[in-house]
Amino acid sequence: MAAITAALVKELREKTGVGMMDCKKALNETDGDFEAAVDWLRKKGLSKAAKKADRVAAEGLVAVATEGGQGAVVEVNSETDFVARNEKFQSAVKEIAALAIGTSGDVDTLKAAKLASGDTVEDKLTNLIATIGENMALRRAAVVTAEPGVVASYVHNPAADDMGAIGVLVGLKSGGDAAKLADLGRKIAMHVAAGSPAVAVSVDVDGVDSALADKEREVFADQARQSGKPENIIEKMVEGRMRKFYEEVVLLKQAFVMDPDRTIEQVLADASKELGTPVEISGFARMALGEGVEKKSEDFAAEVAAATGQS
Q: What is the CATH number of the domain that holds 218?
A: 1.10.286
Same domain? 134 vs 149: yes
Q: Judge if 23 and 95 occupy the same domain.
A: no
Q: What is the pLDDT of residue 47?
A: 57
Instruction: Give, as one character, the DSSP assignment of residue 202.
Output: B
Give the three-state DSSP class for 235.
helix
What's the rounded Cα separation, in Å, for the pair 142 and 193?
Answer: 15
Residues 129 and 165 in one domain: yes
* pLDDT number for residue 182: 97
Q: pLDDT value at position 304?
A: 44
Q: CA-to-CA distance for 1 and 3, rounded, in angstroms?
A: 6
Co-location of 169 and 284 in the same domain: yes
CA angle 262, 263, 267 (to 5 degrees): 75
Looking at residue 17, its pLDDT comes to 67
Q: Is residue 196 part of a domain?
A: yes
> Does residue 229 lie within any of the structural domains?
yes
CA 188 to chain centre: 18
Residues 221, 257 within the same domain: no
Closest CA to 171 of 195, 150, 194, 199: 150
Tell whether 92 is covered by a domain: yes
Q: How far is CA 232 from CA 213, 220, 221, in A?
A: 20, 14, 11
Crossing angle of helices 34-44 and 6-16, in 10° steps, is: 50
Q: What pTM does this model have? A: 0.75
Q: Which element (helix H / strand E) includes 34?
A: helix 34-44
Residues 257 and 117 in one domain: yes
pLDDT score, position 57: 53
Could you tell me the residue range of the domain that residue 156 belongs to? 59-204+250-288
Q: How many domains does the chain have?
A: 3
- The verdict on residue 117 lying in a domain is yes
Q: How far apart are CA 281 and CA 137, in angstroms?
A: 31
Clarify whether residues 14 and 163 are in a common domain. no
My answer on whether 183 and 273 are in the same domain is: yes
**Angle, in degrees to the nearest 10, between helices 34-44 and 20-29:** 120
Q: Is 12 helix (H, G, I), strand (E, B) or coil?
A: helix
- Digits of tens for pLDDT over the chain (311 positions)? 667 888 888 888 777 767 778 888 889 999 888 888 888 877 766 655 544 444 545 689 999 999 989 999 999 998 888 888 999 999 999 999 999 998 999 999 999 999 999 999 999 998 888 888 788 889 999 999 999 999 999 999 899 999 999 999 999 999 999 999 999 999 999 999 998 678 889 999 999 999 999 999 899 988 888 888 888 898 899 899 999 999 999 999 999 999 999 999 999 999 999 999 999 999 999 999 988 765 554 444 554 444 444 44
Q: Is residue 103 domain-shared with residue 219, that is, in the same domain? A: no
Radius of gyration of the chain (CA): 25
CA–CA gap between residue 255 and residue 260 (Å, rounded): 5
> Per the domain annotation, does 43 fall within a domain?
yes
The rounded distance, in Å, linking the Cα atoms of 99 and 107 is 12
